[in-house]
Amino acid sequence: MSKARDEERKAGAGGISRRAVLGGAALGLGGIGRVRAAAVEHRALPADFLWGTAISAYQSEGNNINSDAWVSEHVTPTLFREPSGDACDSYHRYAEDIAIAARLGFNCYRLGVEWARIEPSEGAFSNAELDHYARVLETCRAHGLKPVVTFNHFTTPIWFAARGGFEAPDSPDLFARYCRRAAEHLGGLMHLATTFNEANIQLLLQVMPGMSAALPAARAMIAASARATGSPRFSRLAYADPAVATPLMQEAHRKGYEAIKAARPDLPVGLSLTTQDIQPLGPNSSAAAWRDRLYGDWVRVARSHADFIGVQTYTRILVDATGPVAAPAGAELTAAGYEYYPQALANTIRWAHRAIGKPVYVTESGIATDDDRRRIAFIDQALAGVRDCLDEGIPVHSYLYWSLLDNFEWTSGYRMHFGLVAVDRRTFARTPKPSAVHLGAIARANRI
Ligand code: BGC
């Protein structure tokens, strides 16, 4: 996107001219009050456009004690600011979460199933946990929400990490076996599925300023996790050596894709990638090379083994001749420490469409902030970009906001708030924020 258009977006909150006022009270969300949905330009969306939120199992369920992240949270040294503990207790309170999402006006619910619950020890699958997830998906269906299911959202069972994670040569087969088993049990209830969440996450950690700086500390945490489990091979997906793990994860994705399709041939199975907007800065920028570094071979994998591409965008990364650089002086930063730049989403949608040529689903877009007005502004600007992409003829099929709840933000713990809905850390009471009503009203109207 040209600089001029960026400026235009900034100034005009999406160049919005006509306004519609949508009432929060009509949604029956007691206590939220009546909220003016800010400017909405009247572009009707296809009737099957998916509106919703995304959440992962580990970050919301609580007490995933058989997952590898649980080990790393409890070792010294650790990168985790605090342990996940009960998280949002969504393992027990999923029906309440789903009911809130439905009442807000969404038609879709993206969630994860936790491999470590389904296969807590190698080869031993838990029918009770599979039945639990069947109830979760049935609850979505009963509320008119189409489930979008992520088979893996960064965490793996401890036994899997301890035998080398995705650095072990037979890891693709183990992943595919889990996918097959879960798809056989749950596939009939799914609307869409993805294998990995952000399959290229290890590559992002190398590319994103700030994240790459934490890699030595991450290595120390993994070494401590290896000691704690008595396994020198302990490896976690996000921190694994990409030279070894990326090809194995690509094989795992291909095999997982086929395994899910074998169980449910008509289910669209996509690939979700972390898609930050890499922009050139100054003369001789190496942006193209860094973009290749972020996506690696995943573009080719997506072309051959994905029915759609899941775009997950939070910011832009500026790259000058020397590589990625910090945000411009004076730029607004989100609470996550990177640049507030909602225009990034349109750019990554365009990139995904150009590079991969499959239907595009926005499977995550969101902002960490304690100022809910900035969340509303972010959503409006990101949606203006979705509308531009639709106007350009790009097949965009969803907008899923990360996240429904203020949940466990990995190493940042509970300090960072991405949610449309606040969660009381002691009582687990859920309180929708004005941004929840705002996005829900847009979803209901199905207009941007
Ligand atoms: C991940 C989420 C994470 C979110 C916000 C995404 O990359 O899929 O797990 O919470 O970003 O940082």
Each residue's pLDDT tens digit, 85-99: 999 999 999 999 999
Q: How confident is the model at residue 50 (pLDDT cuts 50, 70, 90)?
A: very high
Binding pocket residue ranges, ligand 1, CB within 6 Å? 56, 59, 197-198, 274, 312, 364, 402, 409, 418
Q: How confident is the model at residue 41 (pLDDT cuts 50, 70, 90)?
A: low
The rounded distance, in Å, linking the Cα atoms of 220 and 41 is 50
Q: What is the pLDDT of residue 21?
A: 29
185 within 8 A of 134, measured Cβ to Cβ: yes
pLDDT tens per residue, range 408-428: 999 999 999 999 999 999 999
Q: 3-state class of 306 per DSSP?
A: coil
Query: What's the gap in Å between 374 CA and the centre of ligand 1?
Result: 18
The closest residue, in CA terms, to atom 10 on ligand 1 is 409
Tokens read off for 355? 């590079």
Q: What is the pLDDT of residue 341?
A: 98
Query: What's the gap in Å between 202 CA and the centre of ligand 1?
Result: 13
Q: What is the pLDDT of residue 209?
A: 84
Average pLDDT (420-437) is: 98
246 within 8 A of 296, measured Cβ to Cβ: yes
Residue that has been written with the tokens 């809130």 in this structure: 100
The rounded distance, in Å, linking the Cα atoms of 15 and 8 is 7
Q: What is the pLDDT of residue 34?
A: 38
The closest residue, in CA terms, to atom 7 on ligand 1 is 274
Our mutation pick for probing the ligand 1 site, out of 410, 414, 417, counting the most ligand atoms within 8 A of Cβ, is 410
Residues facing 278 on adjacent strands: 317
Question: Assign residue 77 a region: left if phi > 0, alpha if psi is -120 to 50, beta otherwise?
Answer: beta
Q: What is the pLDDT of residue 42?
A: 76
Average pLDDT, the chain: 92
Our mutation pick for probing the ligand 1 site, out of 61, 64, 153, 402, counting the most ligand atoms within 8 A of Cβ, is 402
100 within 8 A of 90, measured Cβ to Cβ: no
The rounded distance, in Å, linking the Cα atoms of 73 and 85 is 10
123 exposure class (CB count in 10 Å sphere: 0-12, 13-18, 19+): exposed
How far out from the chain centre does Cα 40 lie? 25
Residues facing 269 on adjacent strands: 193
Residues contacting residue 153 through CB under 8 Å, at least 6 positions apart: 56, 57, 58, 59, 112, 197
Q: What is the pLDDT of residue 14?
A: 30
Residues facing 193 on adjacent strands: 149, 269
The closest residue, in CA terms, to atom 5 on ligand 1 is 409
343 exposure class (CB count in 10 Å sphere: 0-12, 13-18, 19+): buried
Q: Can you give the length of the chain in residues?
A: 448
155 within 8 A of 64, measured Cβ to Cβ: yes
Tokens read off for 186? 């749950």
Res 71 pLDDT > 50 = yes
The rounded distance, in Å, linking the Cα atoms of 447 and 49 is 10
Q: What is the pLDDT of residue 212?
A: 87
219-222 long-range contacts (CB < 8 A, ≥24 apart) are 220/77, 221/72, 221/75, 221/77, 221/78, 221/79, 221/80, 222/72
Residues contacting residue 329 through CB under 8 Å, at least 6 positions apart: none
Tokens read off for 351? 């990139």
From residue 294, alpha-carbon distances to 99, 211, 379 in Å are 37, 13, 25
133 exposure class (CB count in 10 Å sphere: 0-12, 13-18, 19+): buried
Cis peptide leading into 77, omega within 30 of 0?
A: yes
Residues contacting residue 150 through CB under 8 Å, at least 6 positions apart: 56, 110, 111, 112, 113, 193, 194, 196, 197, 272
Percent of the chain with pLDDT over 70: 91
Q: How confident is the model at residue 210 (pLDDT cuts 50, 70, 90)?
A: confident
The rounded distance, in Å, linking the Cα atoms of 190 and 401 is 19
pTM score, whole prediction: 0.92
pLDDT tens per residue, range 105-145: 999 999 999 999 999 999 999 999 999 999 999 999 999 99
Res 235 pLDDT > 60 = yes
Query: What's the gap in Å between 332 CA and the centre of ligand 1?
Result: 20
Q: What is the pLDDT of residue 405?
A: 99
Query: What's the gap in Å between 19 CA and the centre of ligand 1?
Result: 32
Tokens read off for 325? 């650089």
Residues contacting residue 1 through CB under 8 Å, at least 6 positions apart: 343, 346, 347
412 within 8 A of 73, measured Cβ to Cβ: no
Q: Are strands 396-402 and 277-280 parallel, antiparallel or unpaired?
A: unpaired
Query: What's the gap in Å between 20 CA and the centre of ligand 1?
Result: 31
Name which of 374, 297, 392 is nearest 336 in CA terms. Answer: 374
Q: How confident is the model at residue 339 (pLDDT cuts 50, 70, 90)?
A: very high
